[in-house]
Structure 1
Amino acid sequence: MGRPVTLFTGQWADLPIEAMCQKAKEFGYDGLELCCWGDHIEVDKADQAYCNGRLELLKRYDLQLFTISTHLASQCVCDPIDERHKNILPTYIWGDGDPEGVRQRAAEEMIKTGQVAKRLGIDTVVGFTGSPIWHMLYSFPAVSQAQLDKGYEEFARRWTPILDEYQKMGVKYALEVHPTEIAFDIATAHRALKAVNYHPAFGFNYDPSHFGYQHVDYVRFINEFADRIFHVHMKDVYWSDIPTTAGVFGGHMEFGDNRRYWNFRSLGRGKINFENIIRALNDIGYNGPLSVEWEDSGMDREAGAAEACNFVKKVDFAPSGQAFDDVMKAE
């Protein structure tokens, strides 16, 4: 039997939670990965009665829950804060917009989110970390290693107290390795782990789409971080084989603009080799959900989400318990 196939609701937060449940069931999903915005999970309201209500709703539609996701608030824990962040935060975290106050309230929200996960009976929270040094990526004026070291030290200073609380609760934090975060490829993922002293509550949400267009080895990532992959996103991406108007940095163009070098696509319509991913996940013994994060600006999302569910169920398979030629060997 294949792994459970879930749907991440972050791109569907404009829909009420029950409408989301109805659609996910119609599309064929086994469960949901509930985002912490819209009314899907409201952290400030999520006492035990609220969480029980969410679990009862999911049960009514025969949907499972393995994780909740907090990408928006978590981005603000160690980012340089500006007006962009106001657009993704509830007012109780934004407050007066003072950057340090926003970062501290976002950190408090992360701990509360871990508590919500525990009330829901799950042990994984997916999200971002933010980064104090992402803006230094292209090194001009020249960025020193000392400046980068300070950035990783700040990441560790802000996130280690959160991770300590997660460890006490028996909850893990899965960073989606992603441009704009403290870890965005294999090299920086190693550096982030080292910065938090390989904290047992810190690992990764694996999403191959963020590696593909960077030309990072997305199968190698699975093997190198076998014990740190806490959750898996299934998402596809396309990149061009010929020169384009806008390169890897996007040219300040909106997602979906076909002049870009790369765009996210519905599963099976991009360039990610999911066969190799499934085999690598089998090799490391990952038995958790495969969560579809559906992002394709050029396709109807309902048709795409249904198609993606079928794609994942078709591409997934259980590992073998024996070699195919075992029966041919002499006793």
Structure 2
Amino acid sequence: MARPVTLFTGQWADLPLDELCKKAKEFGYDGLELACWGDHFEVDKALSDDSYCQKKRDLLDKHELKLFAISNHLVGQGVLDNIDERHKSILPEYVWGDGNPAGVNERSAEEMKNTARAAQKLGVSIVNGFTGSSIWHLLYDFPPTPASMIDAGYDLLAERWNPILDVFQECGVKFALEVHPTEIAFDLYSAERALKALNHREEFGFNFDPSHLIWQGVDPVEFIHAFPDRIYHVHMKDASVTLNGRTGILTSHLPWGDPRRGWDFRSVGRGGVRFEEIIRALNAIGHDGPLSVEWEDIGMNREVGAAEAAQFCKNVDFEPSGRKFDAAFGD
């Protein structure tokens, strides 16, 4: 059976969900991955209004769209981050509050607990998101960074996220971290360390997104093979590395889409990710969950790109053989 192809709604939060449902169906999607911002899925309303989750389900059913996961990346970022003025634009007002960093961290953690409760109420078992990181700014290791400072970052992950994951456990929901720059896990080895810091508890795994790995020089296929039991969800997103002797991987403080950047996101199938190899790797580990398109390509019309991406995912997906090709030659 082919994997369902869904559309992550985070980059479409400017549209009312009803309007986006119509478009997604026309684009060829089988379902949605609802973002916890805009009017797509609001955690506070899900918990305060007993009819809210059913209304969301009814709307999706009306458009014959399935639901496998919700995502609360923005609030998750506030749990571990060193809070500054940037976070005000991504957090709900009731989480931002007066902007006091310690209060923002605490309210972000409580909102992630509530996200698990809301997911349970909605009837989904996966919440995708970010963790934030208190040590991302130490990445380059100059001035020289004592190992104790990095250790403290992973200790803080355990301190703040274990209580959140306890609620996920109570609710029967898993948290899938999108391994991503600015998170506590941003590549393969930092992902290993995050799992170790959390004692490999089952509630914590990964939302696999190859676009964040390829420009770092990490082979996305190797990531899948490294964590066969922790790939809880899959984002289909592409990226292109465009180093030409003048551009740099660190992107020179240039905005998305600037041709002077050393890499940028691309519509699925239009970058450097080898998606066929990813499908083969997912088949090898037995992962048969949805392929969720996170559409980000500042150089392309998003409606054209989203429709093309849906078809690309359906074309590139295939089932494993189930038999050896040379079985016919056996006794």
Same fold (TM over 0.5): yes
Match of 2:55 in 1: 53
Q: Distance in 2 between matches of 1:293 and 1:236?
A: 9
Match of 2:291 in 1: 290
Letter of the structure 2 residue corresponding to residue 26 of structure 1 = E
Query: Is 1:230 aligned to residue 232 of structure 2?
Result: yes
Letter of the structure 1 residue corresponding to residue 24 of structure 2 = A
Query: Is 1:125 aligned to residue 111 of structure 2?
Result: no
Match of 1:262 in 2: 263
Letter of the structure 2 residue corresponding to residue 68 of structure 1 = I
Query: Is 1:216 aligned to residue 218 of structure 2?
Result: yes
Letter of the structure 2 residue corresponding to residue 306 of structure 1 = A
Q: Is the 8 A contact 1:174 1:230 kept in 2?
A: yes
Query: Shift of the alpha carbon at 1:241?
Result: 4.5
Match of 1:194 in 2: 196
Match of 1:276 in 2: 277
When the two chains are superposed, the root-mean-square deviation of aligned CA atoms in Å is: 0.7
CA deviations over 1:102-144 (Å, ceiling 9, x no partner): 0100000001111111111110000000000000001111111
Q: Is the 8 A contact 2:7 2:32 kept in 1?
A: yes
Match of 1:74 in 2: 76
CA deviations over 1:50-90 (Å, ceiling 9, x no partner): 00000000000000000000010110001000000001111
Query: Shift of the alpha carbon at 1:244?
Result: 2.9
Query: What is the TM-score when the length of structure 2 is the normalising length?
Result: 0.98
Match of 1:65 in 2: 67
Q: Is the 8 A contact 1:177 1:210 kept in 2?
A: yes
Match of 2:12 in 1: 12
CA deviations over 1:145-184 (Å, ceiling 9, x no partner): 1110011001110000000110111000000000000000
Q: Secondary structure at the match of 1:103?
A: helix
Match of 2:37 in 1: 37
Q: Is the 8 A contact 1:244 1:260 kept in 2?
A: no
Q: Distance in 2 between matches of 1:208 and 1:215?
A: 11
Structure 1 runs of 4+ aligned residues shifted over 3 Å read: none
Aligned partner of 1:92 among 94, 100, 107: 94
Q: Is the 8 A contact 1:35 1:69 kept in 2?
A: yes
Query: What is the TM-score when the length of structure 1 is the normalising length?
Result: 0.98
CA deviations over 1:192-224 (Å, ceiling 9, x no partner): 000011111000000000000000121011011
Letter of the structure 2 residue corresponding to residue 215 of structure 1 = G
Q: Is the 8 A contact 2:243 2:249 kept in 1?
A: no
Identity across the alignment (%): 61
Letter of the structure 2 residue corresponding to residue 20 of structure 1 = L
